[in-house]
């Protein structure tokens, strides 16, 4: 990752504490301000694409194999159990049951997410897109991006 490019976590924009969400107009305003910067990395789900693509010139789409995605979703809550992950605002403690409910939803809808992302990226013809499925894909994308 380039140190001169800030990472924007969508969860950090939309959450206050105790997993309470800000009102949608406030989230939209925060997201809009963040995307006005000259450069940024936006981390979040496919719901962000309509906002981000109009401001982006490149997309790195992490799309690991389903088994790896499942493994990561199942082990993440164990690594951060009882703590707030670094990308979240203070007071958003990871609890196993809540994270596993998210993981199950995410795995159940993975195909829909991939279809949505593919369709939106195809419609945004002005972008450089790297679909990252392997460690080699990561290296190639970062090399292409950083030069």
**11 near 99, Cβ under 8 Å?**
no
Q: Cα-flanking dihedrals φ and ψ of residue 58, to 5°?
A: -155, 150
Give the pLDDT of the chain (147 residues) as one tens digit per residue: 566 888 899 999 999 999 899 999 999 999 999 999 988 989 888 888 888 998 998 898 999 998 998 898 888 888 888 888 888 889 988 877 787 888 888 888 888 888 999 999 999 888 889 999 998 998 998 888 887
Per-domain residue ranges for the chain? 7-146
CA atoms within 13 A on the CB side of 8: 20
Q: Cα-flanking dihedrals φ and ψ of residue 5, to 5°?
A: -115, 120
Residue 24 is inside which H or E element, if any? helix 24-35
CA atoms within 13 A on the CB side of 95: 7
For residues 140 and 130, what is the distance between their CA atoms, to the nearest angstrom? Answer: 9
Q: Cα-flanking dihedrals φ and ψ of residue 43, to 5°?
A: -110, 125
pTM check: above 0.85: no
């Amino acid at each position: 990752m380039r140190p001169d490019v800030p990472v924007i976590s969508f969860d950090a924009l939309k959450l206050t504490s105790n997993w309470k969400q800000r009102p949608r107009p406030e989230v939209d305003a925060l997201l809009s301000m963040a995307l006005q910067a000259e450069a940024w990395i936006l981390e979040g789900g496919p719901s962000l694409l309509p906002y981000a693509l109009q401001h982006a010139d490149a997309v790195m789409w992490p799309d690991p194999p389903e088994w790896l995605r499942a493994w990561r979703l199942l082990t993440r809550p164990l690594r951060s159990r009882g703590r707030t992950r670094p990308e979240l605002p203070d007071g958003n403690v990871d609890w196993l049951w809540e994270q596993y409910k998210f993981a199950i939803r995410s795995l159940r809808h993975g195909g829909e997410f991939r279809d949505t992302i593919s369709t939106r990226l195809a419609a945004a013809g002005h972008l450089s897109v790297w679909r990252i499925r392997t460690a080699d894909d990561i290296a190639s994308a970062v090399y292409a991006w950083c030069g």
